[in-house]
Amino acid sequence: MPGPLDGIRIVDLTSMISGPQATMILADQGADVIKVENPDGGDHTRAANNRRNGFSASFLNNNRNKRSLALDLKDPAARDALLRLVATADVFIQNFRPGVIERMGLGEDAVRAVAPAIVYVSISGFGETGPYAQKPVYDPLIQAVSGLASVQAGSDTERPRLVRTILPDKLTGMTAAQAITAALLHKARTGQGQHVRLSMLDTVVAFLWGSDMGSQTFVEEHIPQQEAASFIDLIYETATSAITAAVQTNKEWLALTRALEKPEWLDDPRFKTPALRQRHINERLALIQETLMTRPAEEWLERLTREGVPCAPVLTRTQMIGHPQVAANGIVVETAHPQAGALRQARPAARFSATPATIRAGGPALGQHTAEILAGLGYTPAEISAIGASVTESAA
């Protein structure tokens, strides 16, 4: 059964992570995503390390279910071919630095001239205006300017720290996918296309506001700069391996004291109320850590679970893949790629009861579908050759 976006065509000029992840989510949900790449190397992630048979893991993990069209867009004939393709599409998405797409002759006006109702999507790093608009952008820069590195440090007075995953890139991809489907819904209702603009900086600031910007919320209030409740992560060492446990309510606090056999904590004046426990969080967490070091992780998890304390083991990436909860939900799946071989990936996260998202094909070789796509637009083999399209059956 086709996915919920079956029949939607997306022309994708993005590269790296944020744009390709957005379009892969939509491709998993059934959209026909045509990835337009430069014949000279294609998406930059194709050259990343951790490779097999010419395919990098980074490219494969952000570009499945897509078709690859290799065109040198400096060639007017190739640009004309792209515009002919755009005329058949519902969405056009690009993540070039602001101003570049217009210089390529593929700005909104040029695209809308052939596809008036298209959803035109622009992803940028710092936004399209302002002093940083033309800066080259990578994930650490957004973590720095957005305040995320300060939040991760725990306090404005501590050394900033990066989140050890490219959160701005991936979060922008997810936000873009949601925005595109919203714009497609509006188009289905009204017939009207629109320009969807988002930046990595916009995305991360909005993401942080819900939980980390309380001190900045009330205008004209002199609230101290945001500080962490504690500099101790809720990761505890035990006699064997690490676990996590978190308590919020009085009921859970009582349960924790039972599980750890520490009834005297109930009489400790520092821990009498939730507010006091929060105020003295460092002392409280240090006591918990000291206690948990006395027994194995497996014993503590059993005791904590029995008493109703939220808890879990802390897993490595390899351990996560084999964990019973991950297996029970079928989160990690194996597929066969014609060149890269057997692959292990996360299945599409959102599950649709009537129109399931599926992994239908692995990441394409550079230009793998060029002849197929151009032929579908009415080009003859001679015309395909004349515009200098690159056709290959293997990755660059």
The Cα-based distances of 280 to 230, 245, 314, 351 in angstroms read 9, 17, 25, 42
Rounded to the nearest 5°, which phi and psi values hold at 40?
Answer: -90, 70
| Alpha-carbon span 289 to 19, nearest angstrom | 42
Which residue of the set 32, 72, 169, 202 is catalytic? Answer: 169
- Residue whose pair of structure tokens reads 């430069």 in the numeric block: 38
DSSP-assigned beta bridge partners for residue 252: none
Q: How many CA atoms lie within 13 A of 144 on its CB side?
A: 8
Residue with tokens 């925005």: 179
The answer for residues whose C-beta is within 8 angstroms of residue 279's C-beta and 6 or more apart is 270
Give the tokens for residue 51: 């490779």
Active site residue 109: no
The 9-12 sheet, strands edge to edge: 66-70, 32-37, 9-12, 91-94, 119-124, 195-199
Q: Alpha helices, DSSP H only, in 268-392?
A: 274-279, 281-292, 297-307, 317-322, 324-329, 370-376, 381-386
Supply 322's token pair: 């084999």
Report the amino acid identity of residue 264.
E
Q: Which two tokens stand for residue 283?
A: 């002392």
Q: What is the rounded CA–CA span in Å between residue 11 and residue 176?
A: 14
Contact present, 202 and 146 (Cβ < 8 Å)? no
Residues carrying an active site annotation: 169
